[in-house]
Structure 1
Amino acid sequence: MALKLRLARGGSKKRPFYRIVVTDSRMPRDGRFIEKLGLYNPLLAKDSEERVKMDIERAQYWIGQGAQPTDRVARMLEAAGVLTKTERSNPKKGEPGDKAKKRAEEKAAKAAEATEAE
């Protein structure tokens, strides 16, 4: 059984509230879980202590049992000092889209024509 530490969504429409849970990776996001480890309220200020509440000892236990945290939960555990900070990079995200590349090429071509005409 592949275990995951992940977020299960609660709350009403446009008012998200998450539980940090241990679950089988094959279960649906808001489905059955093994144990509730804490809460995450993204609507609170980032410096608020109430934003993330988690049972750190149980999280360490489940990680020791082979549970893999999702990216968001891993960031919370890194902030709490449970996991070592990992380097993340998404080189595609910083790259401009196709239309922006095309516009840049056209602008460069016009600039080149203007310098040749002078």
Structure 2
Amino acid sequence: MSVSREFLWILIGTAAVTLIPRTLPLVLISRMKLPDYVMKFLKHVPLAVMTALVAQSVLTEGEEWMSPDNSDWLAFFPTLAVALLTRSLLLTVVTGVVSAALLAWLF
């Protein structure tokens, strides 16, 4: 299998277009001293994003979103418990992924 130059340039271009808007603000902001109220605000952004993703994933299953067959809904409970008890985004994500994987494996 050969890869054309055109494909490589397209791949490099899409990587740059994806990477630059994500890393450039982070690099610039990490060098600045932000006020305390901005830091308090930014501290809540991951939780807000995670809540939106979880709510969209769990609650958009149509009328059957709360049925026992919906493994997303069942994985939600241990994930919510870990989130409330630990307040750790990493542990919450790991718990959600492991819970969903175990439920998919069992059912």
TM-score, structure 1 length as denominator?
A: 0.20
Higher helix share: 2
Higher strand share: 1
TM-score, structure 2 length as denominator?
A: 0.21
Bigger Cα Rg: 1
Q: Which has the higher contact order (CA 8 A, sep 6+)?
A: 1
